[in-house]
Structure 1
């Protein structure tokens, strides 16, 4: 998904290229967006399904819940198994296994507080049209959902966990750049960031994005970061 101006079309185009390099077989690559300019022709673009949010409230990714909208099937003709990928992830190895693990709904187990059920929605897999009740429940009582949960990934995981449908990816597959790729302090001052063993997708959450990692900008991150020139080998068309 891409809305607003935070991410340019190069994020979509590079994500497509990474998927093409790291996924066996044919696939349909879809971007839900309000801006299609500059996006490569292999990407199918559709409008983001309508989700009315009260003015002035933090967005916090709630629009991502529209991936469960019936519109995707009824209006756009999309069906089958979907793997959602955040725009700013970097794929470094084969992602075919993400389509092979059994389960109704798979998501990253959030690293920051692993004792909680909360998932990180940078990468999740589901059957299109199977969980429209998630969106319905949010729309029916937005105020309560926002009072109980900080963002959409906490809400989403809670709803589907109560239905017994949540499973988590193999812990090594989705690595946090912030937590897993940066050497421990103080070695981060002289050691280059690295790809953790077993990682297939690197997740950029918080203030850092791939260009920051490439240049060695920490953007207020709590740990010093040297440049990671190897990012350019993966985050490219």
Structure 2
């Protein structure tokens, strides 16, 4: 399989937010579950500690001051810079704080068949979901898992790379920027990607008696905000979550996943 035919899973590691074990766990999970041969590329400012088999590239340079990067995870827009993968290559950009549930080949096949940019529709909070006429707001996108064909979305980086934070902050973050600038933006099918805290965790007091079950027909569970996946592997009696959605015990299927793909040598 040549370079264009072999799809790319792309992630980022920069700063101190997520140690390299998050990247390594994602790589090992994909290597175990995905049946289609692929390349795994990490754009990073520090490749030390990354597992063998992970390709590393420096984060393509852009103007924004590094002190502003975390105000929306703006480095993710450099995924659309030319040269990371050969034009025509299917690329799936993933956050490292996700749990992969099964073979992602159908996501790759969808990219090849339809082209465009595939992104998850933003999931509303509980009140907007239950009472949309009162609490609802326009839903944009969530950039935890973004699929595109290399070379077709370069303009996203080209319109961003020379901007300061002040020039883009009205769009709030990287995912809003992608939402408004992508060519042929499409949503992943409903249910393919779920949010741990918005889709799976119950509100108090139901959370105290209802277990968090592993989704049967989904491909990826994303974590955004609080908690992180590692947080829900600890316990018992280690509180995790938000004031309304929380737990005191590990979530077994996530704990098993974390243990299966971890190594003691990871930082």
- Same-fold status (TM-score > 0.5): yes
Give the CA deviation at 1:128.
1.5
Structure 1 unaligned blocks of 5 or more: none
Could you tell me which residue of structure 1 aligns to residue 108 of structure 2? Answer: 99
Could you tell me which residue of structure 2 aligns to residue 152 of structure 1? Answer: 174
Could you tell me which residue of structure 2 aligns to residue 61 of structure 1? Answer: 73
Trace 1:44-193 onto structure 2 (pairs within 5 A). 44-54=55-65, 56-57=67-68, 59=70, 60-73=72-85, 80-101=89-110, 102-112=114-124, 116-142=138-164, 143-146=166-169, 148-160=170-182, 163=183, 165-193=184-212
2:63–2:162 contact (8 Å) kept in structure 1: no
- The runs of at least 4 consecutive aligned structure 1 residues that moved more than 6 Å come to none
Structure 1 residue 37 corresponds to structure 2 residue 60: no
Structure 2 unaligned blocks of 5 or more: 1-11, 126-135, 262-267
1:109–1:119 contact (8 Å) kept in structure 2: yes
Q: Counterpart of 2:160 in 1: which secondary structure?
A: helix
Give the alignment partner of residue 29 of structure 2, picking from 14, 18, 22.
18
What CA deviation, in whole Å up to 9, does each residue of 1:88-123 have, x standing for no partner?
100112211111122311011110278635211110
1:117–1:158 contact (8 Å) kept in structure 2: no
2-side partners of 1:31 and 1:79: how far apart? 19
1-side partners of 2:152 and 2:145: how far apart? 17
Structure 1 residue 224 corresponds to structure 2 residue 235: no
Q: Counterpart of 1:138 in 2: which secondary structure?
A: coil
Give the CA deviation at 1:183.
2.6
Q: Paired residues, what number?
A: 230
Give the CA deviation at 1:197.
3.7
Structure 1 residue 199 corresponds to structure 2 residue 210: no
TM-score by length of 1: 0.88
1-side partners of 2:66 and 2:147: how far apart? 30
Q: Counterpart of 1:202 in 2: which secondary structure?
A: strand
TM-score by length of 2: 0.79
For structure 1, which segment, 83-92 or 184-193, has the greater mean C-alpha deviation from structure 2 after superposition? Answer: 184-193
User: What RMSD in Å do the two structures reach over aligned CA positions?
Assistant: 2.1
